[in-house]
Amino acid sequence: GQQLNQSPQSMFIQEGEDVSMNCTSSSIFNTWLWYKQDPGEGPVLLIALYKAGELTSNGRLTAQFGITRKDSFLNISASIPSDVGIYFCAGLIQGAQKLVFGQGTRLTINP
Amino acid sequence: GAGVSQSPRYKVTKRGQDVALRCDPISGHVSLYWYRQALGQGPEFLTYFNYEAQQDKSGLPNDRFSAERPEGSISTLTIQRTEQRDSAMYRCASSFEVGGRGETQYFGPGTRLLVL
């Protein structure tokens, strides 16, 4: 099935470092979403983006909706231990109610 | 509880057996979605319902997979004659609105299915 290309697949960083991950697609999406998944839990929404070029922040998280509507990135500043988890991007197809997800970025933080 | 619940949380079955996975959406949520998540991958859409009506089942892999939501609340995903390749995490999500922009989908903890 259709999936978004998310990179990197995994990251190993030191506490306090900034993190950047991105998502690209060959298709245009009208909504980009970023989720975090903790072990044993379902994905939880972090940020939603609705307009090309939009830059949105949620605390230490910042995400942008690419101008071409085919990409998005997520930045996490000053990482802390609770940021550990798997981050997923997702796109919503116009006129449909289904989400298309990336493969995920697994974030590991060394204290 | 206030969230989406799924049962069982874990299911081990033998190849060829049928399994039924249950999703209990958040009370009052009108839309319900099923996704499948393989290890190391993101969730992949299977099917969804608005109220009791199945709107899109294009993601169901084959005719061994079916889903129902007869009263517009609880949903059951059934896999007949299970195969080893069906092993995955099956996730349910619900939304309080029809035709939302995706951000209103709340995910459950999933059912991990292992077919031996």
Cβ–Cβ gap B105/A103 under 8 Å: no
In the numeric block, the tokens 């109610």 are attached to A97
**A32-67: pLDDT as tens digits:** 999 999 988 999 999 999 999 999 999 999 999 999
Best CA proximity match to B26, nearest among B99, B100, B81, B108? B108
- Tell me how far apart the alpha carbons of residues B65 and B82 are, in angstroms, rounded to a whole number: 9
What residue of A is the nearest CA neighbor of B40? A103
Tokens representing residue B104 in the block = 């209103």
Per-residue confidence (pLDDT) for residue B14, from 0 to 100:
98
Mention every residue, 6+ apart, whose C-beta is less than 8 A from residue B90: B6, B21, B34, B35, B36, B37, B77, B110, B111, B112, B113
Tokens representing residue A68 in the block = 């071409």
Q: Determine if the peptide bond prior to B109 is cis (ω within 30°).
A: no
Tokens representing residue B10 in the block = 């874990």
State phi, psi for A78 to the nearest 5 degrees. 45, 65
**A65-103: pLDDT as tens digits:** 999 999 999 999 999 999 999 999 999 877 777 899 999
Alpha-carbon distances of B29 from B51, B96, B111, rounded to whole Å:
8, 4, 20
Q: Does A97 touch chain B (CB under 8 A)?
A: yes
Q: Does A96 touch chain B (CB under 8 A)?
A: yes
- Tell me how far apart the alpha carbons of residues A15 and A19 are, in angstroms, rounded to a whole number: 10
Per-residue confidence (pLDDT) for residue B99, from 0 to 100:
74
Q: Determine if the peptide bond prior to A8 is cis (ω within 30°).
A: yes
Per-residue confidence (pLDDT) for residue B57, from 0 to 100:
93
Q: How far is CA B48 from the centre of its chain?
A: 8
What residue of B is the nearest CA neighbor of A6? B42
Cβ–Cβ gap B41/A50 under 8 Å: no
- From first to last of its 116 residues, chain B has per-residue pLDDT tens of 589 999 999 999 999 999 999 999 999 999 999 999 998 899 999 999 999 999 999 999 999 999 999 999 999 999 999 999 999 999 999 998 887 677 788 999 999 999 99
8-67 in B: which are within 8 Å (CB) of A? 31, 33, 35, 40-45, 48, 50, 55-56, 59
Per-residue confidence (pLDDT) for residue B53, from 0 to 100:
96
**A11-32: pLDDT as tens digits:** 999 999 999 999 999 988 889 9
Reply yes or no on whether the pLDDT at A2 is more than 70.
no
Per-residue confidence (pLDDT) for residue A1, from 0 to 100:
55
Select the residue of A30, A99, A102 nearest B45 (Cβ to Cβ): A99
